[in-house]
Amino acid sequence: MLSAAVRVFIIVVLLIGLAGLVAVAWLTARGPSAAQAARIAEVLEDTRPAGEPAAYAHCASCHLHDGSGRPDGSIPRLAGQRRAVLENKLYRLRAGTMHLSVMDPYARTLLPSEVSEIAAYLSRLPEIEIATSAASDEEHDRGAALYAQHCVSCHGARGEGHDGVLASRLCGQYAGYLERRLKEAAAGTRGPADAIMQGVVDTVPIDDLRLIVAWLAAGKGCASP
Ligand code: HEC
Ligand code: HEC
């Protein structure tokens, strides 16, 4: 048998332990203090460039903070793309009238206000350095002439795009992306979304498209958007 003094001691220790647990539970339920919350917000803010909308945080994991995507063309360069074009694409992805399996889950959850914020932000991002082109000056001149013949009416004199017909800015876009999208348009991969482009691409020989892509990707036309 334990002596009365030992029993009292054990009870006191248990009570102190219980009080400690209650205190921890209370502190946890209360959440971080105002000072802690401010520090957490500061750390999150540190990793987000100034002016970047909060809703772009997920997007940046693939499209990167500077909107440069991937030079191999698997992810387009979005920096400097026209605001109206970006809004139009995001709204169609969101509504399910255009499907890109990798993009659908991200686009669906965007609020209309977030679509505008992201589109405005990306359209204002500065030019990304363009890789030097392997094409000769002669090939670029030929590309410019073919572009003027087949594409200028919708994509603008310098490849800067057009809000009226919601045609994307193409100058400075990665060659790999332009080539892939032209192939997809020819094949009608995106269905009705590519209907306009499909009609155009069918009329231009593949070698001519290559020259147009080389001229566009070299950013020759679009020093300023
Ligand atoms: C998991 C990676 C990933 C995430 C996250 C992601 N994207 Fe994309 N996005 C892609 C890829 C890959 C493409 C190119 C798809 C293609 O061309 O088939 C793309 C294409 C796009 C396009 C161009 C669509 C077109 O017509 O070619 C826009 C605009 C875009 N993304 C915006 C966003 C925005 C805004 C977010 C965040 C809400 C986002 N993306 C999140 C991978 C991603
Ligand atoms: C009749 C108008 C029209 C003409 C002419 C035209 N395009 Fe387009 N193009 C569009 C529209 C509109 C889109 C946007 C489609 C979308 O948002 O889904 C587009 C999209 C594209 C895209 C995909 C860009 C992206 O952001 O996904 C490429 C690449 C392209 N055009 C290249 C060309 C080239 C090269 C030519 C000339 C050979 C050309 N286009 C001629 C209207 C046109």
195 or 124: which leads in pLDDT: 124
Return all residues near 45 (Cβ < 8 A) that are at least 6 apart: none
Ligand 2 probe mutation, 171, 197, 209, most atoms within 8 A of CB:
197
Report pLDDT digits (tens) over 42-55. 655 567 888 999 99
| Residue 224, amino acid | S
Residue 63 near ligand 2, beta carbon < 6 Å: no
15 or 169: which leads in pLDDT: 169
Ligand that lies nearest to the alpha carbon of residue 108, given by its number in the listed order: 1
Residue found by looking up tokens 């069918």 in the block: 202
| Residue 212, amino acid | I
- Tell the burial category of 173 from Cβ atoms under 10 Å away from its Cβ (0-12, 13-18, 19+): buried
- Tell me the pLDDT of the chain averaged across its residues: 87
What pLDDT is attached to residue 225?
Answer: 43
Residue 75 near ligand 2, beta carbon < 6 Å: no
How far apart (Å, rounded) are the C-alpha atoms in residues 215 and 212?
Answer: 5
Atom of ligand 1 nearest to the CA of 118: 35
| Residue 79, amino acid | A
